[in-house]
Structure 1
Amino acid sequence: MQRRQIVKGLAASSLLLAAGGVSAPLWATSDTSLDVIIIGAGLAGLTSAEYLKNLGYKVLLLEARDRVGGRILSLNTQPNSPEAGALQIGQGYGMMRTFAQRLGLPLVPLGNYATQNIFVINGQRIQAADWPTHGSNHLPEADKHTLPSSLYFQALGKGPQYALPSDWASEKYAHLDIPLRQYFKQQNLSDEALRLIDSNLNALSLQGLSAADAFYRLSLARIGGRGAHRIEGGNSRFTQALASNLQGVINTKKVVSRINHGGEKVIVGCEDGSEYRAKRTIITTPFSTLKDVELTGGIRAFKHRAINEAVYTPVTQVHFAVKKQADVAALEATNLWTDNALGRVFSQMNNKGQLTYLTSWVNGKQAQALDNLSAKDAIATVSAALAKYCPALKGKVEVVHHQSWSSERFSKGAYIQFAPGQVQTLVPHMACIEGRLHFAGEHTEFMYSGMESAIVSGLRAAQEVTERL
Structure 2
Amino acid sequence: MASLRPQPALAANTGHVIVVGAGLAGLVAAYELQKAGWQVTVIEARDRVGGRVTTVRSPFTGGQHAEGGGEYIDSLRVHRQMHRYVRAFGLQLEPVNRIPNQGIYYLQGQRFPLSNQGIEDTLGGQVWQDDDRFWDELQVLAQTLTDLDHPERAPKAAELDRIVLSRWIEQLEQVPLARTLTEQYLRGEYDDPEWLSLFFLVQQAALYDQVPDQRLEMYRIRGGNAQLPQEIARSLTRPVVLNAPVTEIKQTALGVEVTHEQGQVSGDFVIIATPLPPLRTVRFDPALSPDLQQAIAELNYGSHVKVISQFSHRFWHNQQTNTVPTITDLPLGFVSEATANQPGQSGILTAYVSGKYGRQLAAMVEGDRIQTALAQLEEIYPGAENSLMAAKSYVWAHDPWVGGSYSAYGPGQMTTLWPALRRPYGRLLFAGEHTDTYIGYMEGAVRSGQRAAAILQKSRPLASID
TM tier, smaller: 0.7 to 0.9
Q: Which one of the candidate residues 373, 382, 399 is aligned to 1:391?
A: 382
Is the CA contact 1:282–1:440 (under 8 Å) kept in the aligned structure 2?
yes
Who is 1:99 aligned against? 85
Aligned match of 1:281: 270
Map residues 57-76 of structure 1 onto 2, 5 A cutoff.
57-76=38-57
Q: Which residue pairs with 1:179 in the alignment? A: 164
The verdict on how the C-alpha distance between 1:443 and 1:223 changes in structure 2, with shifts beyond 3 A counting, is: farther
Alpha-carbon distance in structure 2 between the residues aligned to 1:352 and 1:101: 24
Identity among equivalent pairs (%): 27
User: In 2 relative to 1, CA 332–447 (structure 1 residues): closer, same or farther, beyond 3 Å?
Assistant: closer
Equivalent of 1:85, from 69, 72, 84? 69
- Counterpart Cα distance in 2 of 1:384 and 1:55: 53
| Alpha-carbon contact 1:441-1:457 (below 8 Å) kept | yes
Match of 2:138 in 1: 156
Q: How many residue pairs get matched? A: 432
Indicate conservation of the 8 Å contact 2:197/2:411, yes or no.
yes
Change (3 A) 1:346 1:436: same
Shift of 1:41: 0.6
Q: Is the 8 A contact 1:176 1:183 kept in 2?
A: no
TM-score (normalizing by structure 2)? 0.82
Aligned to 1:427: 418
1:311 maps to amino acid: N
Query: 5 Å matches for 1:221-240?
Result: 221-222=208-209, 226-227=214-215, 228-240=218-230
**What is the deviation of 1:155?**
5.5
What SS does structure 2 have at the residue aligned with 1:248?
coil
In the TM superposition, 1:140-155 aligns within 5 A as 143-146=126-129, 153=135
Match of 1:291 in 2: 280
Q: Which moved more, 1:393-402 or 1:342-351?
A: 342-351
Do the aligned partners of 1:341 and 1:370 also contact (CA within 8 Å) in 2? no
1:126 is paired with a residue whose SS is: strand
1:260-275 equivalences in 2 (<5 Å): 260-262=250-252, 264-270=254-260, 272-275=261-264
SS at match of 2:194: coil
SS of equivalent residue, structure 2 residue 297: helix
Change (3 A) 1:304 1:205: same
Shift of 1:299: 1.5
Aligned to 1:337: 327
Deviates more, 1:416-425 or 1:219-228: 219-228
How far apart in 2 are the matches of 1:391 and 1:290? 45
| Alpha-carbon distance between aligned partners in 1 of 2:193 and 2:280, rounded to the nearest angstrom | 25
Q: Secondary structure at the match of 1:361?
A: strand
Task: Select 2:25's aligned residue among 44, 61, 66.
Answer: 44
| Match runs of 1:7-46 below 5 Å | 28=14, 35-46=16-27
Output the CA distance in 2 between the equivalents of 1:249 and 1:456.
22
Asked if structure 2 preserves the Cα contact closer than 8 Å seen for 1:333 and 1:355, the reply is: no
Q: Higher RCO, 1 or 2 (CA under 8 Å, sep at least 6)?
A: 2
**Match for residue 203 of structure 1 among 169, 175, 190:** 190
Q: Is contact 2:128-2:178 (8 Å) kept?
A: no
CA distance in 1 between counterparts of 2:428 and 2:316 reads 57
Per-residue deviation, 1:291:
2.3
Q: Distance in 2 between matches of 1:351 and 1:49?
A: 33
- Report SS of the residue matched to 2:236: coil
Match of 1:10 in 2: none
Letter aligned with residue 322 of structure 1: F
AA partner of residue 179 (structure 1) = V
| Alpha-carbon distance in 1 for matches of 2:278, 2:259 | 15
Q: Contact (CA 8 Å) 2:40, 2:238: kept in 1 or not?
A: no
Alignment of 1:349-364 (within 5 A): 349=340, 356-364=347-355
How far residue 46 of structure 1 moved from its aligned partner, in angstroms, is 0.7
Is 2:407 the counterpart of 1:416? Answer: yes
Which residue of structure 1 aligns with residue 149 of structure 2? 166
2:311 to 322, 335, 340: 322
- Tell me, what secondary structure is at the counterpart of 1:260? strand
* Structure 2 unaligned residues grouped into runs of 5+: 1-10, 461-466
Q: Which amino acid aligns with 2:153?
A: S
Match of 1:400 in 2: 391
Task: Tell me if the contact between 2:130 and 2:174 (Cα under 8 Å) persists in the aligned partners.
Answer: no
Asked whether the equivalents of residues 322 and 328 of structure 1 are also in contact (C-alpha less than 8 Å), the reply is no
The aligned amino acid for 2:248 is: R
Alpha-carbon distance in 2 for matches of 1:259, 1:428: 21
Q: 1:80 to 1:112 in 2, by over 3 A?
A: farther
How far, CA to CA, are the matches of 1:431 and 1:26 in structure 2? 21
| Distance of 1:130 and 1:142 partners within structure 2 | 10
Give the whole-Å Cα distance in 2 for the aligned partners of 1:223 and 1:50.
32
Q: 1:372, 1:36 → 2: CA distance?
A: 39
Letter of the 1:261 counterpart: Q
Q: Aligned pair in 2 of structure 1 residues 218, 108: CA closer, same or farther (>3 Å)?
A: same
**Which is further off, 359-368 or 83-92?**
83-92
Distance 2:100 2:393 in 1: 22
**Are the counterparts in 1 of residues 333 and 352 from structure 2 also a CA contact under 8 Å?**
yes
- Tell me the distance in 2 between the aligned counterparts of 1:116 and 1:224: 20
* Alignment CA distance shift 1:443-1:126 (3 Å): same
Distance 1:355 1:216 in 2: 40
Q: Deviations over 1:136-155 (max 9, x none)?
A: x6xxx76235597x676465
CA 1:88–1:112 in structure 2 vs 1: closer, same or farther (change >3 Å)? same
Alignment RMSD: 3.2
- The yes-or-no answer on 1:243 pairing with 2:233 is yes
Cα offsets for 1:228-256 (capped at 9, x unmatched): 22222122111111111014331111111
- Match of 2:110? 125
CA distance in 1, matches of 2:141, 2:175: 17
Please report how far the alpha carbon of residue 131 of structure 1 lies from its aligned counterpart in structure 2 after TM superposition: 4.8
1:127/1:329 Cα in 2 relative to 1: closer, same or farther (>3 Å)?
Answer: closer
The equivalent residue for 1:372 is 363
